[in-house]
């Protein structure tokens, strides 16, 4: 199986390459990048230097996609909308997009967070690939929109609540590591400022709220209000730690709440205690915990933002779409401590 990764010089691109190199069904990986063309993968992504001497090729999508069985698009927001159509129209490759372009089907909701969509028709051809929830329903899809990192954690916390009567939509507090901000140095990731710090950001308007709202509506009903996501920057590199709070009645334990939804999920593990973020790092597993009190539910989620929240989930979705074992290439044990 031949796989191309387009826009492969970012942190997510690096994790895609690392995981695809070790995927048992992948025989060839091409990595295309505008900024890194000609450089060795290992120069840009030091982790893979031990495995390959391959070099980045130019970001010529038509050329890269030709002959590929799967094309991952790992580009800045908006670029996929301009580039994806020819691949979809002229090749038989499965396209997995990791940007926000095709995550939101409701164009009004999209507009509210991102502005006018440049190619609305394209949106309808993509399927939102929340792999643990969609599972085998992704089989045969040819265009997948991989969820955002916060959205993945949020959706996994929300899903078990869909059938519970809540007074208000849940609120979700989430903290992300600095790798979520990408490879370009900026003030918010300047080490003297980021180390030992915490800070809320995108208050009352994080873009991932769009896909979260759409998901919640799909599960809890068209009149369900919008969950509120409160995002924070934390002083660590990897991972998202999320705590959900909801007011509603559930008669049973936290595990009773989660088990029906997650017991058969290969990559969701229900924990007995609130999960330590580091226990999820390096794996494609979401750790989920719930605590229940009269009239109140809390759910805790820990994920690796670059694996479960990006590259790992995208590969899991690929596996599901192509009918491969769901965990092919994803039997990752996290190094600990990390």
Pairing of strands 127-128, 143-145: parallel
Query: Based on CB atoms, which residue is closest to a copy of itself, 47 or 221?
Result: 47
Min dist. Cβ of residue 99 to a copy of itself (A): 19
Min dist. Cβ of residue 43 to a copy of itself (A): 9
Min dist. Cβ of residue 5 to a copy of itself (A): 14
* Those residues with Cβ within 8 angstroms of residue 311's Cβ, 6 or more apart along the chain or in another chain: 12, 15, 16, 18, 19, 98
CA–CA dist 34, 313 (Å, integer)? 24
Query: Based on CB atoms, which residue is closest to a copy of itself, 67 or 295?
Result: 295
Min dist. Cβ of residue 203 to a copy of itself (A): 5
Q: Taking the CB of residue 203, how many other CB atoms lie within 10 A of it?
A: 9
Given a contact cutoff of 8 angstroms between Cβ atoms, the answer to whether 169 and 226 are in contact is yes
- Long-range contacts of 224-227, Cβ-Cβ distance < 8 Å, separation of 24 or more: 224/169, 225/168, 225/169, 226/169, 227/154, 227/158, 227/169, 227/170, 227/171, 227/172
CA–CA dist 83, 335 (Å, integer)? 37
Q: Choosing from 141, 149, 265, 338, which is the catalytic residue? A: 149
Instruction: Supply φ then ψ for residue 199, to 5 degrees.
Output: -160, 135
The partner residues of 172 in beta bridges, in order of sequence, read: 229, 244
Min dist. Cβ of residue 260 to a copy of itself (A): 21
Active-site annotation holds for 141: no
Min dist. Cβ of residue 132 to a copy of itself (A): 13
Query: Based on CB atoms, which residue is closest to a copy of itself, 136 or 199?
Result: 199
Q: Which whole-number Å values give the CA distances from 273 to 61, 72, 252, in the listed order?
A: 46, 36, 16
CA–CA dist 218, 194 (Å, integer)? 37
Given a contact cutoff of 8 angstroms between Cβ atoms, the answer to whether 232 and 199 are in contact is yes
Query: Based on CB atoms, which residue is closest to a copy of itself, 163 or 201?
Result: 201
Query: Based on CB atoms, which residue is closest to a copy of itself, 61 or 220?
Result: 220
Query: Based on CB atoms, which residue is closest to a copy of itself, 63 or 331?
Result: 331
Catalytic residues: 149
């Amino acid at each position: 199986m031949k796989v191309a990764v387009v826009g492969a010089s970012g942190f997510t691109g690096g994790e895609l390459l690392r995981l695809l190199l070790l995927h048992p069904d992948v025989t060839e990986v091409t990595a295309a990048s505008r900024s890194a063309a000609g450089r060795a993968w290992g120069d840009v992504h030091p982790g893979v230097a031990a495995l390959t001497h391959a070099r980045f090729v130019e970001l010529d999508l038509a050329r890269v996609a030709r002959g590929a069985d799967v094309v991952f698009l790992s580009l800045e927001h908006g670029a996929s909308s301009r580039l994806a159509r020819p691949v979809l129209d002229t090749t038989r490759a499965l396209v997995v997009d990791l940007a926000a372009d095709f995550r939101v089907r409701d164009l009004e909701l999209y507009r509210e967070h991102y502005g006018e969509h440049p190619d609305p028709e394209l949106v309808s051809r993509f399927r939102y690939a929340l792999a643990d929830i969609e599972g085998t329903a992704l089989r045969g899809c040819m265009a997948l929109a991989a969820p955002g990192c916060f959205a993945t954690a949020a959706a996994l916390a929300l899903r078990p609540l869909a059938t519970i009567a809540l007074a208000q939509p849940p609120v979700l507090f989430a903290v992300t590591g600095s790798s979520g901000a990408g490879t370009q140095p900026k003030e918010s990731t300047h080490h003297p400022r980021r180390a030992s710090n915490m800070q809320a950001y995108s208050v009352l308007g994080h873009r991932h709220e769009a896909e979260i709202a759409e998901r919640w509506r799909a599960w809890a009903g068209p009149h369900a209000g919008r969950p509120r996501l409160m995002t924070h920057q934390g002083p660590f590199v990897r991972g998202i730690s999320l705590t959900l709070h909801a007011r509603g009645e559930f008669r049973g334990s936290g595990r009773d709440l989660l088990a029906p939804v997650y017991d058969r999920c290969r990559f969701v593990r229900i924990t007995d205690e609130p999960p330590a973020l580091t226990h999820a790092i390096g794996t494609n597993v979401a750790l989920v915990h719930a605590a229940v009190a009269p009239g109140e539910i809390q759910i805790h989620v820990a994920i690796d933002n670059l694996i479960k929240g990006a590259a790992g989930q995208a590969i899991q979705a690929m596996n599901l779409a192509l009918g491969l074992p769901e965990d092919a290439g994803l039997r990752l044990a996290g190094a600990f401590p990390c």
